[in-house]
Amino acid sequence: MRIFLSAATALMLILPTLAAAEPVRYQSDIKPIFDKHCVECHSGWFPDGGLRLNSLENIHEGGKQGRAVIAGQPEKGWLINLVRTKSGRYSKMPPGPAQLSEQEIQLIQQWIADGAR
């Protein structure tokens, strides 16, 4: 039992912050990523793909193909699949050679899993 407890304690100490109790939030964690990599094309009167990524409300409105983010179900919305798409594939986001870092993608995925708020 004691061995189990200390192993559990060690695990808690080494688990990344993502797994901590604090949920990932749009305003503090996600907005900076979208502002830097997405908003230049996904905002304004005629946003690409009909999708605005410049506010939480607009994100949940979705784009031409429907909802890009489905709260609690990261794998079901467009957004996470498109940012996971590798360079050269159709509709990869952002387009071109740039790619979000694995850490940024993980954060977005966790945010959606946490309810996308």
Pick the stretch among 4-12, 18-26, 88-96, 109-117 that binds ligand HEC (CB under 6 A).
88-96
In the chain, DSSP finds a helix count (H) and a strand count (E) of 5, 0
Nearest to 32 by CA among 53, 47, 61: 53
Q: What are the two backbone dihedrals, phi and then psi, of residue 66, each rounded to the nearest 5 degrees?
A: 105, -155
Residue 74 engages ligand HEC in binding (rule: CB under 6 A): no
Give CA separation, 10 vs 60, 61, 92, in Å. 38, 42, 39
94 binds ligand HEC (CB under 6 A): yes
Q: Closest approach of Cβ 107 to ligand HEC, in Å? A: 12
Nearer to ligand HEC, 28 or 101 (CB): 101
Determine the interface stretch with ligand HEC among 1-9, 22-30, 41-49, 109-117 (rule: CB under 6 A): 41-49
